[in-house]
Amino acid sequence: MKENQDCNLQSVYQQIVEISKKYQVKKVVLSGSRARGTNMPKSDIDLAIYGCADFGGLSDSLNEDLWSLLKLDIINMDDKYVSAELVSEIEKDGVVLYEKV
C-alpha cells in the first residue's frame, strides 16, 4: 500500500510542477513533514513558491486541479511577511521539486 501511495504522490508532485511551469514560477520547494520524511498518511503538502507574478492564480489552479484528500498549504515566498524562521526551515529541510534554469 505504501508503494502505491508513494507512486500517487510522485504523480501529484509532477502535476504541481506542470501547473507551476504554466505560471512561469521560478522555483517550487516541498517543505514541512513530507520534505523531512516525518509525515503521516494524511499530512498536508506544504509548498514554497518563488518568483510567481500571479500567485493567486497559481494557488487557485493548484487547489482546483489537484483536488484530493490531501490539503495543499501554498506559501508565496516573495511575500515580505514570510517569517525568517519559516524561510530558515524551508532552506534547511526543503526539497526542490522544480527550478527554472
The packing angle between helices 2-22 and 55-65, to 10°, is 150
Rg (CA), the chain: 13
Structural domains in the chain, sorted by start: 2-99 (3.30.460.10)
Q: What's the pLDDT at 1?
A: 41
| Helical ranges in the chain per DSSP H | 2-22, 32-36, 55-65, 84-93
Statement: residue 25 has pLDDT above 50? yes
Q: Are 16 and 66 in contact (CB under 8 A)?
A: yes
Q: What's the pLDDT at 7?
A: 57
Tens-place pLDDT, residues 33-75: 999 999 998 899 999 999 999 999 999 999 999 876 678 999 9
Q: What's the pLDDT at 8?
A: 84
Task: Cell numbers for 22, please give them.
Answer: 504554466
Across the range 79-90, mean pLDDT stands at 96
Is this prediction's pTM over 0.85? yes
